[in-house]
Amino acid sequence: MGKITDRYAIVGVGESERSRNSGTTPLHMALDAARSALKDSGLNAQDVDGFMSYNENDSCTSHELATYLGVRPKYVKDIHGGGSSTEMLIGDAVGLIEAGILNTVLIFRSMNGSSGQRVGRGYDPDMLQGALPGGSYIIPYGSASPSQWFGMFATRHMHETGITKEHLGHVCTSFYEHAGRNPKAFLHAKPLTMEKYMDTPDISYPFNIHDSCLELDEANAIIVTSAERARDCMSKPVYIMGMSARQCHPHAHYWSDLDQVASDFVAPKVYESAGVKPEDIQVASIYDCFSWVVLRQLEAYGFAPRGEVGNFVAEGNLRMGGKLPTNTAGGMLSEGYTHGMNNVLEIVRQIRHEYKGTDRQVEGCEIGICTGWSGPDIAGAMILRN
């Protein structure tokens, strides 16, 4: 892909209701989210000729979604994926539009993540042994939950950099504070103090329940098109300045080279492709399946030097008025959970200044970063502008 800066835009975002028990199927929720994104953009369903989605065998297909929007699309694509997949599919959409194959792409993630197949609860042990690379070296030792996998990475990094449990708490309390201003956040009415955080027993040390993302029933959708076509849309386009993605580490659970996470490779590339530096970023959506993941990414993306990331969050820099207001709707820790897509919706709304005049708006933010992370092995990121 050549230089794409400012030539593509996100023109619509939308979501379904979020709940612990939707009482409906991922297809119904995906339709709600897609219709909401279409309404936001002012486009008709027939204007969309590409549909894409990612899932963990827990969703409907892009073809089903298109069918029940009454569209016969040129192209559908469903990938197996979680964190980072939103950014990677946006990259694919841009490539296909650039090649002249498609005009406008709708990307969605829909999952009954609480009432259906639940990530944090673990899976059938024998299925997991076969499904995970090196699974026979993990499952017999009782390690089957993401909180245990990510915790293993976190403990080592915390040991090396001096990050403490209280630093993890600052990530959580900052995001819960944002959820307190967002009536649609699932934990809107569940404020979290540092005292309460520190008193909460661990699930998998170093993590307690607040360090872990919510598991909810929810769908999100976004619409990507060219800057040219974006002018015909009803919404204020948010332009893509740059993107990058990377897969590394053959076996994430055997993180033998701790100094290397995929975000470290993605960071210089995403800044280079957007033509900006970390200090130009005014608002952030940082993938937050667990609190610690935010800290490691702040380090990777150059917002604070290694060893100083704990202080950076303790100084309140993730909060409104801080140096880098982050996950301003509450993030996956306290707003909702769609493997990262809800964080994309929020940064688009911030950069559009959709909350103008309220205490939720990051004042005058023009440039934002959105990151995806699926472990030390996979990362994707994009930089967006007004």
Partner 1 sequence: MEYQKPIPLKNQDNSPYWDAADRHELTLQRCDSCHEYAHPPGPSCAKCGSTDLSWVSIGDDVKATIYSYVVSYRPFLPGFQDELPLIIAQAELEKVPEVKIMCNVLECKPEDIQIGMPVQMIWQDIAEDRALPQWKPVDE
* Contacts with partner 1, residue ranges (CB under 8 A): 121-122, 125-126, 129-130, 133-145, 147-148, 151-153, 155-156, 159, 201-207, 250-251, 253-256
Q: Which is nearer to partner 1, 130 or 191 (CB)?
A: 130
d(CA 180, CA 177): 5
Q: Which is nearer to partner 1, 144 or 283 (CB)?
A: 144
Q: Which is nearer to partner 1, 19 or 145 (CB)?
A: 145
Amino acid identity for residue 24 in this structure: T
Catalytic, 271? Answer: no
Shortest Å, Cβ 326 to partner 1:
25
Q: Which is nearer to partner 1, 101 or 198 (CB)?
A: 198
Residues in the chain: 386
**Residue linked to tokens 């996998």:** 149
Point out the catalytic residue in the list 176, 239, 301, 337. Answer: 337
Q: Which is nearer to partner 1, 139 or 281 (CB)?
A: 139
Q: β-strand 75-80 against 367-373: which pairing, if any?
A: unpaired
Shortest Å, Cβ 123 to partner 1:
9
Quote the Cα angle for 249-254-255, to 5°: 60
Q: Does an H or E element contain 107, and which?
A: strand 104-112
Amino acid identity for residue 140 in this structure: P
Shortest Å, Cβ 143 to partner 1:
5
Which distant-in-sequence residues (6+ apart) come within 8 Å of 259 by Cβ? none
| Cβ-contact 183, 17 below 8 angstroms | no
Cis peptide before 183 (omega within 30 of 0): no
Catalytic, 239? Answer: no
Point out the catalytic residue in the list 8, 176, 197, 287. Answer: 287
Q: Nearest Cα to 294, choosing from 257, 240, 330?
A: 330
Shortest Å, Cβ 135 to partner 1:
8
The alpha carbon torsion through 309, 312, 314, 315 (nearest 10 deg) reads: 170
Strand, helix or coil for residue 120: helix
Amino acid identity for residue 365 in this structure: C
| Cβ-contact 222, 12 below 8 angstroms | yes
Q: Nearest Cα to 299, choosing from 168, 152, 161?
A: 161
Which distant-in-sequence residues (6+ apart) come within 8 Å of 24 by Cβ? none
Which distant-in-sequence residues (6+ apart) come within 8 Å of 276 by Cβ? 241, 242, 367, 383
Shortest Å, Cβ 210 to partner 1:
15
Shortest Å, Cβ 214 to partner 1:
17
Q: Which is nearer to partner 1, 48 or 261 (CB)?
A: 261
d(CA 340, CA 150): 16
Shortest Å, Cβ 332 to partner 1:
20
- 3-state SS track over 8-72: EEEEEEEECCCECCCCCCHHHHHHHHHHHHHHHHCCCHHHCCEEEEEECCCCCCHHHHHHHCCCC
Q: Which is nearer to partner 1, 139 or 267 (CB)?
A: 139
Query: Which are the catalytic amino acids?
Result: 287, 337
